[in-house]
Structure 1
Amino acid sequence: MEDTIRRYWLKPSTYNTAVGIYATLPFLMLPALLVVNAPYGRFAGKLGIDWSLSGKWSWALMEVISPITFTSSLIFTRPIGTPFQIMLSAAWIVHYVNRSVIYPLRAASMAPIHILAFASSILFNILNGYTNGIWVGRHSNAADAQFWTGMLLWALGFASNVYHDGILFRLRQKSKSEDKQSAARYFIPHGGLFEYVSCPNYFSETMEWLGYALATHSSVPAAIFAIATAANLFPRAWRTHQWYRNQFNGAYPQHRKAVIPFLL
């Protein structure tokens, strides 16, 4: 049974089909998310019918799919284990351990996630983990200047993402601890890149995967992932930015951009 799964998993036609489907997703996501809010977080329950799942459990489950499929692909391809492969694999696992385990544990609370967002994320993460894991398992380039530049960019993006998530978690905890009869439910975030943009966590995550794609030199799945990250998060950042401005009116810093400091 394992040999049958492995043969199908490694078939060039399986991989090429997955990459082809994966490559279409950014072009579907961007226009869709410019029109409709992805129904999770502050935009949960915005699709009419409330088919929502527990925030923490559904988040953890849909995020853990990616490292599972990535690791399975590595096991099946039996990579040589070069520094290039080890560091790219470690970066992937570190990111998704944070997203699927540490992130929901750090969060004081998480809004419900609509079943459509949950199912879409699982599909995305299956394709994402599978295609990138196969590519890393089959390729090994020199750990040259481009590789180290990309890995440094990834590390800076990851650290920034964790840091700015922490600011939001503290605000969420503050909201829960305040007297609900007198305190506002939402607060304006400050600190770090929040002084320049409304969504530095989205900017940081995009930076991570741009760096990762740069480090690979030529990985098509990694390039798709970087583009898909921007296609997913930038429209949400723009909507979140507008939400902040509407929520706080003139009190919200007018100089802040949505996601890219000084530009967007």
Structure 2
Amino acid sequence: MAPVLFFIDAPYGRFAGTLGANFSLPGKASWFIMEAVSPLLFLSSVILTRPTWTPFQMILTSAWLVHYVNRSIIYPLRATSMAPIHILAVVSAVVFNGLNGYTNGIWVGRHSNSVYQFKFWFGIGLWAAGFVSNIYHDTLLFKLRKKSIDKNTSDKKKRYSIPYGGLYNYISCPNYFSESMEWIGYAIAAHSSLPAYIFVMATVSNLFPRAIRTHGWYKDTFKDYPKSRKAVIPYIY
């Protein structure tokens, strides 16, 4: 799937409508449905395994739920507006997030490990840094979108501006970088969790191609776009 995403834009956000607007659903409601599936199935799966709720299990469960409460509820509430999302993207996300939440929840419920080791807290620290970075860069984008809405323009390209601040000074998609950082950290903390490492690969395979497309869109749309800015990894890629 990842190679395809280098050439076909997933139909949401600035690429909404690329597969036909007639099959798109309201942005905020669709986003909630897409994202809420994961924490619901994760928590249900953990509970069904009857865990002993060790510190390891509680911390990993909390990290998962905190991320997805933000993504499914707080994020769309903070957003000034969200573009319609193609039904294909909604269905695909629901299926993936459901399976992902279920498999990771089952693993956490059935496994435990010591939290008194460097690897665990390094992973949690990386997760926390990615989470905070995600919220910070979301805030920068929300401020830009509010200014664009205040201009009341119907021109899609005029509704977007060049973002600055934080990692936006170095890359076009700090949100994708931050989310990847979160789940890499989670996988490290989860120690030997195969579902967590599969999730990392799926996240990178999805977000990095989209970052490349977004980077190209910015360069094509804004002739004064900073030439030194990379797509998703500062100074590298």
Q: TM-score range, shorter-chain basis?
A: over 0.9
CA distance in 2, matches of 1:179, 1:146: 50
Within 5 A, what are the aligned runs for 1:20-169? 29-48=1-20, 50-143=22-115, 144-169=117-142
Partner of 2:162 in structure 1? Answer: 188
Deviations along 1:49-104, one digit per CA (max 9) or x if unpaired, are 63000000000011000000001101100111111100000000000000000000
> What is the distance in 1 between the residues matched to 2:40 and 2:212?
31
Structure 2: runs of 5+ lacking an equivalent: none
Q: Which has the larger radius of gyration?
A: 1
Which AA in structure 1 matches 2:84? P
Which piece of structure 1 moves more, 105-114 or 44-53? 44-53
Could you tell me whether the CA contact under 8 Å between 2:20 and 2:86 is conserved in 1? Answer: no
Aligned-partner SS, 2:232: coil
- Choose which of 189, 193, 198 in structure 2 pairs with 1:219: 193
Matched residue count:
235
TM-score of the aligned structures, taking structure 1 as reference length: 0.87
Paired with 1:33 and 1:184, the residues of 2 have a C-alpha distance of 25
Return the alpha-carbon distance in structure 2 between the equivalents of residues 57 and 49 of structure 1.
16
Q: What TM-score, normalized to structure 2? A: 0.96
Give the superposition deviation at 1:179: 4.9
- Residue 199 of structure 1 corresponds to 173
Match for 1:150: what amino acid?
Answer: G
1:232 aligns with 206
For residues 81 and 54 of structure 2, the distance between their equivalents in structure 1, rounded to whole angstroms, comes to 40
Give 1:61's aligned amino acid: I
Identity over aligned residues, as a percent? 63
The superposition leaves residues 108-156 of structure 1 with CA deviations (integer Å, 9 ceiling, x where unpaired) of 0000000000000000011100000000000000111100000000000
- Residue 153 of structure 1 aligns to a residue whose secondary structure is helix
Q: Partner letter of residue 157 of structure 1?
A: G
Matches within 5 A, 1:240-251: 240-249=214-223, 251=224
Q: In structure 2, what is the Cα distance between the partners aligned to 1:181 and 1:152?
A: 42
- Hey, what does 1:23 align to over in structure 2? none
* Offset at residue 170 of structure 1 (A): 0.6
**Residue 6 of structure 2 aligns to a residue in which SS?**
helix
Q: Deviations over 1:171-214 (max 9, x none)?
A: 11110012538993221100000000000000000000000000
Task: Please identify runs of 4+ aligned residues in structure 1 that moved more than 6 A.
Answer: none
Partner amino acid for 2:217? W
Q: Provide the residue aligned with 1:210 in structure 2.
A: 184
Q: Answer whether contact 2:100 2:195 (CA < 8 A) is retained.
A: yes
